[in-house]
Chains A and B, each alone.
Chain A
Amino acid sequence: MKEFLEGSQVIAKAVKMCKPGVISAYPITPQTHIVEELAQMVADGHLDSQFVNVESEHSAASVVLGAVAAGVRSFTATSSQGLFLMAEVIFNIAGMRLPVILSCANRAISAPISIWNDHQDSVSLRDSGWIQLYAENLQEVADFHFMAYRIGEDKSIMLPVMVCMDGFILTHGMEPVDMPEQEKVDRFLPPYKALYKLDPAEPVSMGPLADPDYYAETRFAIQETFKDVLALIPKVSDEFKSCFGRDYKDCLVEEYHVKDAQKVIVAMGSVCGTIKEVVDELRKKGKKVGLLKIISYRPFPYARVFQALKDVPQVAVLDKAVSLGAYAPLASEIKTAFFGKKKSPKVISSFVAGLGGRDITLESIKEIFSRLTQREINLEFIDLKPELLKEKYGE
C-alpha cells in the first residue's frame, strides 16, 4: 500500500517487517529517527524484539555482534562519527562472518563538525568486509533492507550488510512509498537460521587468535565470498521482483540512457535522481547523455561497470567523498575497471561535490556535463567558494 512517509519511518517499518530479535542503538546525535521509531514499536508491543539502549555506538555494534553470534537476527543504525566509533567492531563483525544489518544515514565526518550529508562515513569503511548498497529514493531504502537480510544471511555468504541512504535528503525527506504486506515479506525472507552460533550445548569460539598460519585464509575467504555476493545479488533481485513486483534488474548498477550515450555520469545515492532529471532535459535538446548508478559499492561490480561503459567515449565520476591524498574513491574504482582493457572510455574525469551537505543542484550536474570534455580532469571540486579559499591563518 502506498503511504506518505519520512525516510526514517520507512526504514523502521521495513525493519519491523524483517522481525529482528535484537535492536541496539546509541540514541544521541548522529542518530536518526530510525531507532526512535523502532523503540516506540517495541514499547507499544507492535514489535517483539529486545531493544538495547547503550552508552556508545561501540557498544551498540558490540550488542548486535553478540546477538547475531547467538543466532538472532539483529539491526542497528548510525552515521558519521557514530559509525567511526563502531569501526573496530565493524571489522570484527565481518571477520566473524556475522550477518548484521546496519542502516547508515550518510553524513559528513569531523572535523570540522558537520551534521549534513555526504558519503565519507560509509565509504571510509569500504575495506571492512561489509556489503554496501546505496539507495536513490525511499522505495529503494525500504526494498534494499528486505534484500539486505536475504543476501547477508544466505548460508553461502554470511556477511554483514550496510544499507546506505543520504542523511537528511532521504532520512528526513518524505515521499510516497509502497510498503509491502507482512505476508509478502515473510515469503521473501524466512526466519534466520544461523549456520553457526554461540550455544552452551555445543560451544564454539568466534574471532579467536589466528596466528600467521591461519590469518590470511580468513581474508582470502571473504574476498572469495564477495564473488558469490556479486552472483547472488541479481538472483535475490529476481526473486524480489517476482514477490513484490519491483524490478531492480541485477541490482548491482542501474543504467539510465547509457546505451547510446556519448557522456555518462557515474554516481551513487540520491543525487542520481537529480542527474536523471538533467539527463532527460539534455536528451530533449538532442544531447546523448546518461547516468550509471552504482548500487553495490561493495562488492564492486567491475565487470558490470566495464560492460556498461566500454563504448561510452566520455565518463564523469561524481564522488560525494574524498580519499585525501589520492583520487576520489568511486573514481578510483571506475578507472580500475578499465585498467589494461582494450575497450575503454577515452576520458574518465573525476568530480567531487556535495561534501558536508553542500547542495548539488541541477546546475551543478549541468556543469559536470559541460566540463566533461576530451581533456581528462581529476578531482575537480564543484561549487567551491573561491572567496573562502583566499583566507589565510592569522590574517
Chain B
Amino acid sequence: MKEIRIHARAGQGAITTASLLGYAYFLKGAYAYAFPHFGAARMGAPMNAFVRMDSKPVRVRSQIYKPDYVIIIDQTLMRNFNCFSGLKENGVVILNDKEGASAPKVKAKQKVFVVPGNDIALKTIGKPLGNTALVGSFAAATGELNLDILIEAIKHRFSAKIQEANIEAVKQGFQYIKKG
C-alpha cells in the first residue's frame, strides 16, 4: 500500500489533484481511494486531500498519518503546519515554490523536489493553479505513474482548452523533474 497526503488551501485544487492521481492509479489497474478532509468550509482555509492505493481494494477509511508521499500545493502552509509529519523514512515531497527556493531540511533518505508549479501554471493555464503541474512532477519524481496515464486522467477530468492547458502543465511539471 502507498499513501499520498496533499496539503493545500480550499480552492487550490487538492481534491482535483487527489481524483486525478486516484483515476490514474485506476487506469493503471490498481485500487485507489481518494478523499478530502475539509477544515472550515470556506475558500482559503487549510485542508487536506488523500490518496491511498493498493493492488487489492482499499478498506482503511482513516486519514493518512504516515504518508509515502507528500504534495504541498501552497508553501505558506509550512509556516503553521508540520507538512512532513509522519513522512516515511524514504518518503518523497513535492513542494510548490518559486524557482530556486531552498528546499526544507529533511531526513537523510527523504527527498524534497521543489517545483515552480504556479509559474508553470501561469504560463500554461494562465492562472496560478499549480496542482496539475505538481501531478506531473509527482509522477516523474516517484516513478509511480507514467505520463501517458496522467494525460489520460486529465482528458477524463477536463475538456476543450482547459484540457489542453492542463496537459501542457502536467508535461512541463514532469519534464522539470526529468531535466533535474
Within 8 Å of chain A (Cβ to Cβ): is B41?
Answer: yes
Q: Are the C-beta atoms of B62 and A174 separated by less than 8 Å?
A: no
- Pick the residue among B33, B36, B63 that contacts A359 (CB under 8 A): B63
Q: Are the C-beta atoms of B59 and A271 separated by less than 8 Å?
A: no
Of residues 1 through 41 on chain A, the ones whose CB sits less than 8 Å from some CB of chain B are 2, 4, 6, 29
Task: State whether A274 and B59 are in contact (beta carbons under 8 Å apart), knowing that A6-B19, A176-B31 are contacts in the complex.
Answer: yes
- Pick the residue among A2, A115, A169, A362 that contacts B38 (CB under 8 A): A115
CA of A364 to CA of B58 in the docked complex: distance in angstroms?
18
Q: Are the C-beta atoms of B60 and A4 separated by less than 8 Å?
A: no
Within 8 Å of chain B (Cβ to Cβ): is A228?
Answer: no
Task: Identify which of B57, B60, B65 gathers the most chain A CB atoms within 10 Å of its CB.
Answer: B60
Of residues 343 through 371 on chain A, the ones whose CB sits less than 8 Å from some CB of chain B are 359-362, 364
Q: How far is the CB of B114 from chain A (nearest CB, A)?
A: 28
Q: How far is the CB of B104 from chain A (nearest CB, A)?
A: 26
| B128-150 interface code vs A (CB 8 A; 1 in, 0 out) | 00000000000000000000000
CA of A278 to CA of B12 in the docked complex: distance in angstroms?
34
CA of A263 to CA of B39 in the docked complex: distance in angstroms?
36
Classify the secondary structure of A's interface with B. mixed
Q: Are the C-beta atoms of B31 and A273 separated by less than 8 Å?
A: no
- Pick the residue among A2, A271, A361 that contacts B65 (CB under 8 A): A361
Within 8 Å of chain A (Cβ to Cβ): is B34?
Answer: yes
Give chain B residues whose Cβ lies under 8 Å from the Cβ of A137. 57, 59
Give chain B residues whose Cβ lies under 8 Å from the Cβ of A270. 61
Task: State whether A174 and B33 are in contact (beta carbons under 8 Å apart), knowing that A6-B19, A115-B38 are contacts in the complex.
Answer: yes
Task: State whether A176 and B32 are in contact (beta carbons under 8 Å apart), knowing that A4-B26, A273-B59 are contacts in the complex.
Answer: yes
Task: State whether A176 and B35 are in contact (beta carbons under 8 Å apart), knowing that A273-B60, A362-B62 are contacts in the complex.
Answer: no
- Pick the residue among A172, A274, A276, A362 that contacts B35 (CB under 8 A): A172
CA of A211 to CA of B26 in the docked complex: distance in angstroms?
59
| B50-83 interface code vs A (CB 8 A; 1 in, 0 out) | 0000000111111101000000000000000000
Give chain A residues whose Cβ lies under 8 Å from the Cβ of B60. 273-274, 277, 362
Task: State whether A168 and B59 are in contact (beta carbons under 8 Å apart), knowing that A6-B19, A174-B19 are contacts in the complex.
Answer: no
Give chain A residues whose Cβ lies under 8 Å from the Cβ of B15. 172
Of residues 20 through 40 on chain B, the ones whose CB sits less than 8 Å from some CB of chain A are 22-23, 26, 31-38
CA of A276 to CA of B60 in the docked complex: distance in angstroms?
8
Task: State whether A173 and B62 are in contact (beta carbons under 8 Å apart), knowing that A4-B23, A4-B26, A6-B19 are contacts in the complex.
Answer: no
Task: State whether A175 and B32 are in contact (beta carbons under 8 Å apart), knowing that A4-B23, A4-B26, A168-B37 are contacts in the complex.
Answer: yes
| A116 closest partner in B (C-beta) | B38
Q: How far is the CB of B60 from chain A (nearest CB, A)?
A: 5
Give chain A residues whose Cβ lies under 8 Å from the Cβ of B41. 29, 115
| A172 closest partner in B (C-beta) | B36
Task: State whether A174 and B63 are in contact (beta carbons under 8 Å apart), knowing that A4-B32, A115-B41 are contacts in the complex.
Answer: no
CA of A362 to CA of B38 in the docked complex: distance in angstroms?
21
Q: How far is the CB of B31 from chain A (nearest CB, A)?
A: 6
| B18 closest partner in A (C-beta) | A174
Q: Are the C-beta atoms of B26 and A277 separated by less than 8 Å?
A: no
Task: State whether A360 and B35 are in contact (beta carbons under 8 Å apart), knowing that A4-B22, A174-B19 are contacts in the complex.
Answer: no
CA of A29 to CA of B41 in the docked complex: distance in angstroms?
11
| A269 closest partner in B (C-beta) | B61
| A117 closest partner in B (C-beta) | B61
Give chain B residues whose Cβ lies under 8 Å from the Cβ of A174. 18-19, 22-23, 32-35
| B24 closest partner in A (C-beta) | A4
A-B contact pairs, 15 of them (CB 8 A): A115-B41, A168-B36, A172-B15, A172-B36, A173-B34, A174-B18, A175-B22, A175-B34, A176-B31, A176-B57, A270-B61, A274-B62, A359-B62, A361-B65, A364-B62
Residues of chain B having any CB pair with chain A under 8 Å: 15, 18-19, 22-23, 26, 31-38, 41, 57-63, 65
Sorted nearest first, the 10 A-B pairs with minimum C-beta distance are A273-B59, A173-B35, A4-B26, A174-B34, A361-B62, A270-B61, A175-B33, A4-B23, A277-B60, A359-B63
Q: A175-B58, A362-B62 are in contact. List 9 more A-B contacts (CB 8 A).
A: A168-B38, A173-B35, A173-B61, A174-B22, A174-B32, A174-B34, A176-B57, A273-B61, A274-B62
